[in-house]
């Protein structure tokens, strides 16, 4: 089933361009609370050199992600949902949900992060206590945070466009605050600036990086507005990359100004040092308030839209999918975002929230890079971005994200991976047949292509024999015993394909073939390790040979053919001629004579009749070993039976069988039977009539005219036996996976 694309706002309602819709929310979130309230602390703990490394490493990850976002955005129209939309349309709904759901919670938590930063900055201006209880309550950080959240929600409820327009004013305020900072001077600048910080109270580099990294996650604020952009394909790359560049320049300059105006101990202990050195401290307040509130606006606009996109794809409650007004405002999602942000405000701690945000956003960045890198690596013809990024850059960015997550907090990384993995598995089961035309098919194709190339270059050895089985069974509902046997035999060790052949002309049967292929889909769910095909051939026996020799690519070919035993003697000659050609093509043969009443019985007793001819014994033993590895046959008792004429032969054969089974590491009982003049068919019926499955060797006629007589002989043997498999090892199976040394009888 192909998923219906989620509806977006009407084209005439998407009024946001590159500057207002992408660059503005991105740069205002980048130049936010961390820059004003924590960057001095960062420099104080890791020194000037360490701060530059922190900024550079963070922006390497941010730039790689921005390039990946740009590439994906120029390949296809980006709908609402930003990063979630890109990932789900590249790696499928399960991968999109496993990142999109945590991303929504991260964006909602970002609102808390910026609101707490805003209220903390107010603490530097307003007194901590007040004589009037009412005023003291109003100045409480949690009360101020709640009021701020309500105002932000009301602003976002009005419309995204209105919120964006207010951010232009905020940008001007931040610009003025930066001018005030860069032209300021600290009260006690150090006599000498060292590259590294020293002291016993320094915080580890990984923890410092975790606190700083949310500063560069602002690009997701612009990406998440994708559904409100007039031209997302054009605006997302330009706005995102310009925002990253502007943020990088400012953040690389900031540590120099701080380090040359205060010693590291001061920077560690005085979080409001930016105010102390500014030319006009009041402008810093305006900048902080503008940065924190604008970032909070960006997050409170982004989170509901991510949730709305998830709901439109059926991955979140449908109530969140509904939009209001001409711009499809997600009011239900906004209310839920406010609720989550308010819970965070009541808990509120800037240093506690920052590392959690870092994990969430690093995971999102990593998967976004992974999506782009895999799309490029898979070389999917539908992935034709106008902004091309080498797949090594994207995959390198993904690796950097996951590495940084591990050094920050390995336990938190594992926990995040488990949560994302649980979401992935749940959504995969819920939306197994949902596809957005994503890259999963291309990725698997690329992996198959790569594996086939390596397989072709690797020299084959008999010890690596695996059952690649073709089942020719006609209508599957009438040959389910072949499906059961083939699936149990192969399991995950090889490949099993069920071929339903139609006799006639392609022009007459093409439509029927399509119908039959669709009818086989339910069976594919019941037999997940079986591939199903419908082929049209002019004649059945010739068609079996043609399909067998044309099946596969390179060294990945069929090596075993599984068929039903024919019941009509007049078909014996062409049937055995077909079998001989299959053997000449180096295929092993397995013919199933099915007992319609008993089927496979209780799957408890499996008898192998060892004849010592045609070198079929090794494959017969391997059949028993493979079957008893299947959960339905796991309790089966394997017995190898041999009929001999004399006591001397019995002792010799029994010793050889014991050595063979020991060397082959196969568990089986042995029974050597004296014929005593009894007919072999009668002996088999007496010994194996109550078994659940019998395995016999199959020899082919030396001349075509001998086929009817051989058919009569096997028909006599099969009479009275349970379901029986006749095995011929062909020329391609020499017994290496079973026989060792000189153990073969």
> CA separation (Å) from 500 to 437, 471, 494, 550, 725?
29, 9, 20, 15, 20
Angle at 343 between CA 302 and CA 351, to 5 degrees: 80
Rounded to whole angstroms, the Cα distance separating 644 from 641 reads 10
Q: Are strands 530-537 and 724-728 parallel, antiparallel or unpaired?
A: unpaired
Model confidence pLDDT, tens digit, residues 30-52: 887 788 888 999 999 999 999 99
Instruction: Please say whether the dihedral angle defined by the alpha carbons of residues 617, 620, 622 and 624, taken in this order, is positive or negative.
Output: negative
Query: Is the CB of residue 208 less than 8 Å from the CB of residue 324?
Result: no
What would the pLDDT profile of 660-699 be if each residue is shown by its tens digit? 788 777 788 989 888 877 888 899 999 999 999 999 999 8
pLDDT tens readout for residues 716-740? 999 889 999 999 988 767 665 665 4
Residue with tokens 């695996």: 466
Distance from C-alpha of 437 to C-alpha of 79, rounded to nearest angstrom: 14
Q: What CATH class is the domain 462-728?
A: alpha beta
Q: Where are the alpha helices (DSSP H) in 491-571?
A: 506-519, 521-526, 540-550
DSSP class of 18: I
Closest among 650, 744, 636 to 695, alpha carbons compared: 636
Phi, then psi, of 691 in degrees rounded to 5: -70, 170
Q: What pLDDT, on a 0 to 100 scale, did the predictor assign at position 616?
A: 84
- The answer to whether residues 698 and 613 touch, using CB atoms and an 8 Å cutoff, is no
CA 593, 594, 596: angle at the middle one, nearest 5? Answer: 150
Comparing CA positions, the residue from 140, 145, 150, 138 lying closest to residue 115 is: 145
Residue 13 pLDDT exceeds 50: no
The predicted model gives 86-95 an average pLDDT of: 72
Identify the three-state secondary structure at position 435.
strand
Nearest 5°: the CA angle 389, 390, 393 is 95
Q: Residue 442: is its pLDDT beyond 60?
A: no
| Residue 468, both tokens | 């690649």
**In this predicted structure, what is the pLDDT of residue 130?**
47
- Fold that domain 11-440 belongs to in CATH: Amino acid/polyamine transporter I (1.20.1740)
Position with higher pLDDT, 100 vs 470: 470
**Facing residues of 590 across strands?**
562, 727
CA angle 75, 79, 80 (to 5 degrees): 145
Pairing of strands 556-557, 552-553: antiparallel
Residue appearing with tokens 């063979």: 660
Spatial separation of the C-alpha atoms in residues 113 and 190, rounded to whole Å: 33
At residue 1, the pLDDT reads 39
Residues of the chain with CATH 3.40.50.12370: 462-728
Whole-angstrom Cα distance, residue 483 to residue 498? 7
Q: In sequence order, what are the beta bridge partners of 535?
A: 501
Is residue 52 classed as helix, strand or coil in its secondary structure? helix
Q: How far, in Å, CA of 736 to CA of 549, rounded?
A: 23
Is the separation of the CB atoms in 606 and 723 below 8 Å? no
> Has residue 215 got a pLDDT over 80?
yes
Highest mean pLDDT among 127-136, 409-418, 567-576: 567-576
Considering the chain, tell me which residue range(s) the CATH 1.20.1740.10 domain(s) occupy.
11-440
Distance CA(520)–CA(500), nearest Å, equals 10
Sheet holding 724-728, edge to edge: 530-537, 495-503, 468-472, 560-564, 588-593, 724-728, 693-697, 605-609, 637-644, 669-674
φ/ψ of 148, rounded to 5, equals: -60, -45
| Cα Rg of the chain (Å, integer) | 36
- Residue 709 or residue 428, greater confidence: 709
> Can you list the alpha helix ranges (DSSP code H) found in 192-231?
205-212, 219-223
CA angle (674 as vertex; 672, 678 as ends), nearest 5: 130
How far does Cα 424 stand from its chain's mean position? 7
Q: For residue 484, is pLDDT > 50? A: yes
Over residues 334-350, mean pLDDT: 80
| pLDDT value of position 2 | 40
Residue 650's pLDDT is what? Answer: 86
What's residue 151's pLDDT? 84
How large a percentage of the chain has pLDDT more than 70? 83
What average pLDDT score do residues 356-377 get?
79
pTM tops 0.95, yes or no: no
**Are 446 and 375 a contacting pair, CB within 8 Å?**
no
Judged by DSSP in three states, 497 sits in strand
Mean pLDDT of the chain: 81
The DSSP line for 290-330 is HHHHHHHHHHHHHHHHHHHHHHHTTSS-GGGG--BTTTTB-
CB 439 within 8 A of CB 383: yes
Residue range 458-482: mean pLDDT, rounded: 78
pLDDT category at 744 given cuts 50, 70, 90 is: very low
With 70 as the cut, is the pLDDT of residue 550 above it? Answer: yes
Considering Cα of 294, then 297, then 301, then 306, what sign does the dihedral take? positive
Per 3-state DSSP, the chain is made up of helix, strand and coil in percentages (nearest 5) of 60, 10, 30
Higher-confidence residue of 278 and 292: namely: 278
Question: Is a pLDDT exceeding 50 seen at residue 146?
Answer: yes
pLDDT reported for residue 602: 92
Q: What is the DSSP letter of 23?
A: I
CA–CA distance, 173 with 283 (Å, rounded to integer): 7
pLDDT confidence of residue 244: 92
Phi (first) and psi of residue 564, to 5 degrees:
-90, 155
Indicate the pLDDT class of residue 605, thresholds 50, 70 and 90: very high
A 10 A CB-CB count for 485 gives 25
Q: Quick one: average pLDDT of 436-446?
A: 57
Q: CA distances (Å), 337 to each of 101, 146, 153, 469, 681, in order?
A: 12, 13, 9, 54, 78
What pLDDT does residue 638 have?
92
| DSSP at 16 | B
pLDDT at 9: 47
* Contact criterion met (CB below 8 Å) for 259 and 42: no
Mapping DSSP to helix (H, G, I), strand (E, B) and coil, where does residue 607 land? strand
């Amino acid at each position: 089933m192909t998923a219906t694309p989620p509806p977006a706002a009407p084209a005439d309602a998407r009024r946001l361009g590159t500057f207002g819709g992408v660059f503005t929310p991105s740069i205002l979130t980048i130049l936010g609370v961390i820059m004003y309230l924590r960057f001095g602390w960062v420099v104080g703990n890791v020194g000037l050199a360490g701060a530059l490394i922190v900024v550079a490493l963070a922006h390497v990850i941010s730039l790689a992600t921005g390039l990946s976002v740009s590439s994906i955005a120029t390949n296809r129209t980006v709908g609402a949902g930003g990063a979630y939309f890109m990932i789900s349309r590249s790696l499928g709904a399960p991968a999109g949900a496993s990142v999109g759901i945590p991303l929504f919670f991260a964006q909602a938590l970002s609102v808390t992060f910026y609101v707490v930063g805003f209220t903390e900055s107010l603490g530097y201006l307003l007194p901590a206590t007040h004589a009037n209880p009412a005023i003291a309550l109003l100045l409480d950080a949690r009360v101020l945070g709640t009021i701020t959240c309500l105002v932000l929600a009301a602003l976002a409820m009005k419309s995204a466009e209105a919120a964006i327009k207010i951010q232009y004013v905020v940008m001007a305020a931040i610009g003025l605050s930066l001018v005030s900072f860069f032209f300021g001077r600290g009260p006690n600048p150090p006599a000498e600036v060292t590259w590294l910080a020293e002291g016993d109270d320094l915080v580890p580099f990984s923890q410092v990086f975790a606190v700083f990294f949310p500063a560069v996650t602002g690009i997701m604020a612009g990406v998440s507005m994708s559904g409100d952009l007039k031209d997302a394909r054009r605006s997302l790359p330009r706005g995102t990359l310009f925002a990253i560049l502007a943020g990088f320049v400012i953040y690389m300059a900031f540590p120099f100004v701080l380090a040359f105006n205060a010693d590291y101990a001061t920077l560690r202990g005085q979080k409001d040092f930016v105010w102390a050195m500014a030319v006009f401290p009041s402008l810093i307040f305006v900048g902080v308030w503008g940065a924190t509130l604008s970032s909070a606006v960006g997050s409170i606009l982004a989170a509901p839209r991510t949730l709305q996109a998830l709901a439109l794809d059926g991955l979140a409650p449908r109530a969140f999918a509904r939009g209001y007004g001409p711009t499809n405002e997600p009011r239900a999602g906004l209310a839920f975002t406010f609720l989550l942000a308010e819970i965070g405000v009541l808990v509120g701690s800037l240093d506690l929230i920052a590392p959690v945000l870092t994990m969430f956003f690093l995971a999102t960045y990593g998967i976004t890079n992974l999506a782009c890198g895999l799309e490029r690596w898979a070389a999917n013809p539908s992935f034709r971005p106008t902004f091309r990024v080498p797949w090594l850059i994207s995959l390198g960015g993904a690796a950097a994200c996951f590495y940084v997550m591990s050094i920050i907090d390995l336990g938190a990384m594992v926990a995040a991976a488990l949560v994302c993995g649980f979401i992935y598995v749940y959504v995969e089961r819920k939306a197994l047949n949902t596809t957005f035309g994503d890259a999963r098919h291309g990725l698997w194709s690329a992996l198959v292509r790569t594996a086939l190339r390596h397989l072709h270059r690797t020299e084959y050895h008999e010890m690596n024999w695996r059952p690649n089985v073709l089942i020719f069974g006609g209508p599957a509902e009438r040959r389910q015993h072949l499906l059961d046997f083939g699936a149990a035999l192969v399991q995950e060790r090889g490949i099993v394909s069920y071929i339903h052949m139609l006799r006639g002309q392609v022009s007459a049967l093409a439509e029927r073939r399509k119908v039959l292929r669709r009818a086989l889909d339910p069976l594919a769910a019941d037999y997940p390790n079986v591939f199903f095909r419908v082929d049209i051939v002019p004649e059945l026996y010739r068609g079996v040979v043609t399909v067998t020799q044309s099946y596969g690519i390179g060294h990945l070919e069929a090596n075993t053919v599984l068929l039903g035993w024919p019941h009509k003697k007049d078909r014996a000659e062409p049937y055995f001629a077909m079998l001989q050609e299959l053997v000449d093509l180096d295929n092993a043969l397995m013919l199933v004579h099915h007992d319609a009443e008993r089927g496979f019985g209780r799957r408890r007793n499996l008898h192998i009749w060892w004849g010592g001819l045609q070198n079929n014994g090794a494959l017969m033993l391997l059949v028993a070993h493979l079957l008893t590895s299947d959960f339905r046959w796991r309790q089966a008792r394997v017995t190898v039976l041999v009929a001999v004429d004399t006591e001397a032969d019995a002792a010799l054969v029994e010793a050889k069988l014991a050595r063979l089974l020991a060397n082959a590491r196969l568990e089986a009982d042995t029974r050597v039977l004296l014929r005593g003049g009894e007919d072999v068919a009668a002996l088999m019926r007496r010994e194996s009539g109550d078994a659940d499955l019998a395995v016999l060797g199959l020899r082919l006629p030396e001349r075509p005219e001998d086929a009817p007589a051989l058919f009569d002989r096997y028909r006599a043997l099969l009479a009275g036996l349970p379901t029986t498999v006749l095995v011929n090892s062909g020329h391609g199976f020499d017994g290496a996976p079973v026989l060792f040394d000189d153990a073969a009888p």
